[in-house]
Amino acid sequence: MNRALPSADSGHQGCPATNVDLARKCLGLIRDIADRGALSWDPEAVGYALQELSQVLLERAGTEDRIFEPVRAGELEGLDKLYAELAFVDGASQDINPSHKWN
């Protein structure tokens, strides 16, 4: 499926305020994708959301290799470890700014 990628170029690349805005937009997209996966009853949609988010974040870290393939949620391995790591990040991110609890 080839989709046109939304443009994030505002002509102010590198500007700290623009980077913060763009970072917020990225987090919003991650939230939206995660919400769709979390709210779906379709195991394929759940697996797709988790695997694709993982792949995109891995690519962000500098690798272009396709490591994660979309699979049904029941076929995902290592979810206990992933959940523990995400719970840690969730707690740490709330500790950064305790006045903005998300849950």
73-97 pLDDT, tens digit each: 888 787 888 888 887 777 766 776 5
Please give the model's pTM, rounded to 2 decimal places.
0.61
Q: Is residue 4 part of a domain?
A: no
pLDDT (tens digit per residue) in 35-88: 988 898 988 888 888 888 888 888 877 777 777 777 788 887 878 888 888 877
Sequence length of the chain is: 103
Residue 89: inside a domain? yes
Helix axis angle, 16-39 relative to 43-60, nearest 10°? Answer: 160
Domain residue limits at 82: 16-95
**Count of domains for the chain:** 1
First CA to last CA distance, the chain:
35
